[in-house]
Structure 1
Amino acid sequence: MAGATIVVTGANRGIGLAFVTEALARGAAKVYAGVRDTSTVTPELAASGAEIVQLEVTSADDVAAAARTCADATVLINNAGLHAQDRLVKCSDVDAARREMEVNYFAPLLATRAFAPVIAANGGGSIVNVLSVAAIAPTAFMGGYSPSKAAALYLGGIARAELEPDGITVTSLIVGSVDTQMAAHVDGHKEDPRTIAVAGLRAMQRGDWTTDTDRMAFESRARLALDPVRYERGLGKLLFVDSLSTKA
């Protein structure tokens, strides 16, 4: 990490904030913390030592401006995400899935297109996409979120092939349940966001293509490999429970 200049989207709290603090702790030269609204920066982020950047990830103008501001970037961490907590077909909000696709797929694509030339001009580096176990199997109770993360997983693979000649690696992180605002409705064991950041930065340094970052991700991958149909049926049954809970 020594000497790296890192851009983190969705940096105000949760996993994004953890990436900011962990990168600085590991010797990054500079971290740009992208936030949707600079007037709502959390005290934790303000005290981190990161440089705050206005970055609404679905705004082409914001992304282009950030690429100019962060002209010394060597790493992009696409962390910003949206989980609308709605169903896909039997939904209460017909636009929810579109918003999830905009934030979780099109926004990382937009940022990758904007920052790849910047990173290449600075001698190469890395792009890290923060995904979910919902990317590796149809996760019925996560509605439009699961398809959007699956699309982002494929984005990572295609971007990796295109950007390899420019000296840019692309790492996709498969993340389980984490103790963040997004997972506030889930009971049971949830990972510390910093655990995800540590695993993600290590995976990036190794040049991993895809990495399972935590226990839930590993176990989900194993159950899916052992019996895909049973695993998907189990996810489907979670549509009809009163509350969601992880295993301890």
Structure 2
Amino acid sequence: MDIDGSVALVTGANRGLGLHIARELLSRGAAVYATARDPRTVDLPGATVLPLDVTDPVSIESAAAAAGDVNLLVNNAGVATFSNLVTGDLDDIRLEMDTHFYGTLRMIRAFAPILAGNGGGAIVNVLSALSWITFLDTTSYCAAKAAQWSLTNGVRLELAEQGTQVTAVHLGAADTDMIARWDLPKLPPAFVATAVADGIARGDLEVLVDDTATGAKAALAADVRVVYPQLP
């Protein structure tokens, strides 16, 4: 897809990866709707700011009505509650699933007809290496990201006939507020944004940003006890 001259909408564009992706798209000649639950938190000169909460169907309908010229949808909005599935608060687990799975699905359902009317366009879902591998204290997030990955594969098939490119982006840790509590190597968000934009431009259906993502995908074919040596 040619980014120059495209019209993009980026969810969660007030900080982290969303802000950097929106900025990168602007630098490549796209018009950008930068969205966030609180539009006052978006500071991105050149972008059109819209309020959007991906867990609120009414908010999504309003954004779709205001952005009928979109041909590139970037589903980036996310949340991490650092909950475990068995002992974690069910409200936290529901929030992660509602944001990553149902929020992404709601956005795609709202914008798929718009993309079709504008020539097909593209959808980018920002996923994670944790779509494929799980760690304690974040098992709820991993489950939500795994569901979002399956969703991505499904809508890619469903939207192929209308000519919509659907790209999944997987990465390890990026240096954002979401994982500030974790002491581990982190990718610069600008590096991730460049990889995302390059993938869109090439027409990639999957972007593996780093070795962590590549290794996590490869581990799907490994024996479970090799991937999780802590198991008895």
Bin of the TM-score, shorter chain as denominator length? over 0.9
Give the % identical residues.
39
Count residues with an aligned counterpart.
230
Q: Deviations over 1:154-208 (max 9, x none)?
A: 1111101111111101111111100000010111320011111111122222222
The equivalent position to 1:124 in structure 2, one of 120, 123, 129, is 120
Q: Does 1:147 align with 2:143?
A: yes
Structure 2 gap segments, 5+ residues each = none
Between 1:204-213 and 1:69-78, the stretch displaced more is 204-213
Conserved 8 A contact 2:132-2:146: yes
Contact 1:137 1:232 in 2 (8 A): no
Alpha-carbon contact 1:127-1:168 (below 8 Å) kept:
yes
Gaps in structure 1 of 5+ consecutive residues: 237-248
Structure 1 Cα separation of the partners of residues 61 and 219 of structure 2: 41
- Contact 2:133/2:216 (CA < 8 Å) preserved in 1? no
The 1:206/1:229 distance shift into structure 2, 3 A limit, reads farther
Pair 219,137 (structure 1): closer, same or farther in 2 beyond 3 Å: closer
Q: 2:100 aligns with which of 77, 99, 104?
A: 104
Q: Say which SS state the counterpart of residue 49 (structure 2) adopts.
A: strand
SS at match of 1:77: strand
What SS class does the counterpart of residue 186 from structure 1 fall into?
coil
Q: How many angstroms apart in 2 are the aligned matches of 1:73 and 1:159?
A: 18
Give yes or no for contact 2:12–2:78 (8 Å, CA) kept in 1.
yes
Q: What's the secondary structure of 1:141's corresponding residue?
A: coil
Q: Does the alignment pair 1:175 with 2:171?
A: yes
2:14 pairs, out of 9, 12, 17, with 12
Distance (whole Å) between structure 1 residues aligned to residue 190 and residue 96 of structure 2 = 24
Output the amino acid matched with 2:51.
Answer: Q
State the one-letter code of the partner of 1:196: V
Q: Is the 8 A contact 1:134 1:142 kept in 2?
A: no
Larger relative CO (CA 8 A, sep 6+): 1 or 2?
Answer: 2
Under a length normalisation based on structure 1, what TM-score does the superposition of the two structures give? 0.87
| Aligned counterpart for 2:186 among listed residues 176, 186, 190 | 190
Matched AA of 1:21: R
1:124 Cα shift? 1.2
Q: 1:202 to 1:104 in 2, by over 3 A?
A: same
Conserved 8 A contact 1:97-1:143:
no
User: In structure 2, what is the Cα distance between the partners aligned to 1:193 and 1:216?
Assistant: 15
1:52 aligns with 2:49: yes
SS class of match (2:54) = coil
Partner of 2:156: 160
| Cα displacement (A) at 1:87 | 1.3
> Post-superposition shift, 1:223?
4.8
SS at 1:32 equivalent: strand
Is 1:70 the counterpart of 2:67? The answer is yes
Determine helix, strand or coil for the equivalent of 1:187. Answer: coil
Higher mean Cα deviation, 224-233 or 135-144? 224-233
Match of 2:35 in 1: 34
Mapped partners of 2:92, 2:76: distance in 1: 19
> Residues 90-101 of structure 1: matches in 2 within 5 Å?
90-91=87-88, 93-101=89-97
State the shift of 1:131 in Å: 0.6
CA distance in 2, matches of 1:138, 1:129: 19
